[in-house]
Amino acid sequence: HIVEEDRTALRALAEQDPRVNTQLGERFAYIETEEVHPHQCQVTVEENSSPNSAHLEERPLNQVMALRMTYYSYSHNSAVYVCLQENHLSSVQRDPREGYQPQEGTEEIEQAIRIARNDPRIAQDVQNLFGHAILTSPEEYRYFWVSDEAGFGNRVLWVTFSDMPESLALYFARVDLTKGQVLDAGKEPGPQ
C-alpha cells in the first residue's frame, strides 16, 4: 500500500532522472502509481491488436515488486511508464500503442477544470459552481469525432459545472490538455 508521502518522494526521485525527463518532455501530468510484478513494467504491441490492447512483456518472475508510475506526456502526446525497483529506476517507456489513452488523473481533472473556469464564454457563470471532468477518447467516441476536428487524437477532457456535486450539469467545456486550450464551451442544453 503506497501512502501519499511515499508517492510524492517516488515522483521526485523519478522526475529528477534525465531519462524520465526525456520521455516526459516539458509538459506532462502524473496519473497514478501502482505496485506490479517486474515483468509488467514493459508494454509491447502485438500485430493486429487494437490501440487499447497490450501484451505485457514476459520476464522472469522476481519476488521483489516494482512500482509503476503512469504519466501522460503532452509534449509527446503519449502515456509514459516509469518503473522503480528497490528505489532505483528500472525502466522508462513511452507507450508504443498508437492512440492509447490511460485513465485521467487527479492532476489532469484539476487542470482541465481550472482552464475551463477561465474560458471567457463561461467564466462569469461557473466560478462558484462544482467542476467535474472525464477523459474523452476519439477511439471510444469515433462516431462523434472526425479526424480533422480540433482535438482529435489529443488528450481531451469533458468538463461540466453544476450547482451541487451530484446535480445536472449547467455548463460544459471540452479542454484539450495536449494543447492547453478550450475547444468549445457553453451552457448545457436542456432544462436549467
pLDDT digits (tens, 9 = 90+) for 114-131: 999 999 999 999 999 999
In whole angstroms, give the CA distance from residue 40 to residue 77: 22
Are the beta carbons of 81 and 66 closer than 8 angstroms?
no
DSSP secondary structure string for all residues of 114-181 = HHHHT-TTTHHHHTTSEEEEEEE-TTTTTTT--TTSTTTTS-EEEEEEESSTTSPPSEEEEEETTTTE
**192 pLDDT more than 90:** no
What is the per-residue pLDDT across 49-105, written as a single tens digit (0 to 9) for each?
Answer: 554 445 454 445 545 789 999 999 999 999 999 999 988 999 999 999 888 899 999
pTM: 0.84
The pLDDT of residue 59: 47
156-162 and 130-136 strand pairing: antiparallel
What percentage of the chain has pLDDT greater than the value 90? Answer: 62
User: Among all chains, which residue has been given the C-alpha cell 479526424?
Assistant: 147
Q: Is the torsion defined by CA of 96, 101, 106, 112 positive or negative? A: positive
Domains annotated for the chain, with CATH where assigned, are: 4-94 (no CATH), 106-187 (3.10.450)
What is the per-residue pLDDT across 145-181, written as a single tens digit (0 to 9) for each?
Answer: 556 677 888 999 999 999 998 899 999 999 999 999 9
| 191 three-state secondary structure | coil
What is the per-residue pLDDT across 4-55, written as a single tens digit (0 to 9) for each?
Answer: 668 888 999 999 999 999 999 999 999 999 999 988 888 877 765 554 445 4
Which amino acid is present at 26?
E
